[in-house]
Amino acid sequence: MDFDLSEELTAVRDLAHGFAEKEIAPTAAKDDGEHTFRRDLVLKMGELGFHGCVIPEEYGGTNLGFFALALISEEIARVHSAIRVYINMQVGPALTLLDFGTEEQKRRWIPPLIRGEALGCFAITEPNAGSDVASMATTATKSDRGYILNGTKTWISNAPVADTAIVFAYTDKSKRHHGISAFYLDLNRSGVSRRTLGKLGTHASPTGELIFENFHIPEASRIGQEGEGFKICMRHLNHTRLGCAAGAVGLARAAREAAVSYANQREQFGQKIGQFQMNQDLIAQMVVHEEAARLLVYRAACLADRKQPNNLEVSIAKYAAAEAAAFAADVALRILGAYGYSTEFPVERYLRDAKSYQIVEGSSNIQKLIIAQDALGYRKANRQ
């Protein structure tokens, strides 16, 4: 694979870098401290085409591809990881509609998502259903006018602010994962309530619960056929994991840059602390983990652009990048010492935000399970 960036991809990366530095960096600390959701940034990124880079032009996208999405996600997360989540919340639902929606659904629902006009989210996790998707309890019962949705979805990014959601629910519980269906919902209607959840990091990206009580779903809002929800969910997660992995690389990069900068400035015992071998050892490990994760993300993105199976490669990239981010953030805090622990510097935010990458879009343990089962031949990740 050739990872040299074309002029077009270089321009996309530079555009994202400049946007992050100009529009996000100046208020990153304030937005995090005040838990501010920046809807204006969702719209601005939509105007620049960030949400539509993997969507064909006929639906309002730019069709630049997954490699472009990875570059954008890294640059945004390097400045403020929470803002990177905004992209996944628009791109994920749009891609699911592109893959499984009818022509009418695509033309109606994709353009507002990629323009940033309709805030999206996707609701899989429940109080008693996380990694085990098939253990969900939410049901969509058939009615004369469509379906009646009942259940609670939790730890949903954008839940407190979203206009729309892709929701997964059982239409036939007797069939286990073959009885799950997917729906695209307008959340600005009666029958749904929301609750914001507090969390350790990613404070500028709101997370919460969606509680559905006799929520009416029109027949036309179902995506795909009844019982295809599990398949749709797995495809959806494969897409969003890639953006998530690229974001983790961006955060690892930010932590490494902070550690290197400080090590070249701070002096102790008559020399810069970067001259101590102990710190050199830590920085070398940060560089290697970051570079390895980036190349794994690029490989997964290239396979996606070629429309080749990449479930295994995405899981490898997601696991490596999440661990690289967590390691780099921890090391940066240790190198900066009290300044790393201080809320006056961004390193403590890096540490808090990094932990989310080991949990969201499939935890690190789930990625290891996928990787190991493929290696052992128990369950091939890239089966057609």
Q: Is the pLDDT of residue 378 over 70?
A: yes
CB proximity list for 216: less than 8 A, separation 6 or greater: 143, 145, 146, 147, 148, 149, 189, 191
Quote the pLDDT of residue 295.
97
Interval 297-314 mean pLDDT: 96
Averaged confidence pLDDT in the chain: 96
Q: So what's the pLDDT on residue 383?
A: 73
CB neighbours of residue 223 within 10 Å: 24
Q: What torsion, rounded to 10 degrees, do the Cα atoms 143, 121, 193, 144 define?
A: -10
CATH of 7-115, one of 1.10.260.40, 1.10.3720.10, 1.10.540.10, 3.40.50.300: 1.10.540.10
- The rounded distance, in Å, linking the Cα atoms of 274 and 139 is 57
- Mean pLDDT in residue range 5-31: 97
CATH code for the part of the protein at 230-376: 1.20.140.10
Distance from C-alpha of 295 to C-alpha of 264, rounded to nearest angstrom: 27
> What tokens appear for 88 in the block?
């996944």
Q: What is the pLDDT of residues 160-191, one digit of tens each?
A: 999 999 999 999 998 998 999 999 999 999 99
Mean pLDDT, residues 300-321: 97
Please give the pLDDT value at position 382. Answer: 87
User: Where is 340: in which H helix or E strand?
Assistant: helix 338-341
pLDDT in tens, 228-251: 999 999 999 999 999 999 999 999
Helices (H) and strands (E) in the chain, counts: 12, 10
DSSP string, 34-61: TT---HHHHHHHHHTTSTTTTS-GGGT-
For residues 50 and 61, the answer to whether their CB atoms sit within 8 Å is no
Q: Inform me whether the pLDDT recorded for 222 exceeds 80.
A: yes
Tell me which of 74, 290, 348, 361 is the catalytic residue.
Answer: 361
Say how far apart CA 153 and CA 211 lie, in whole Å.
6
- Show the tokens assigned to 277: 């071998």
Location of structure tokens 């100009």 = 22
Question: How do beta strands 180-186 and 192-196 pair?
Answer: unpaired
228 is catalytic: no
288: left (phi over 0), alpha (psi -120 to 50) or beta: alpha
Classify domain 122-227 by CATH number: 2.40.110.10
**218-to-20, 107, 180, 193 alpha-carbon distances in Å:** 39, 18, 17, 19
**pLDDT given at position 1:** 75
Express each pLDDT in 321-364 by its tens digit: 999 999 999 999 999 999 999 999 999 999 999 999 999 999 99
Nearest to 12 by CA among 63, 80, 81: 63
Amino acid at residue number 251? L
Q: What is the pLDDT of residue 384?
A: 53
Mean pLDDT of 219-232: 95
Q: For residue 6, what are its two tokens?
A: 């074309």
Calculate what percentage of the chain has a pLDDT beyond 70: 100
Q: Which residue has the tokens 């997601």?
A: 318
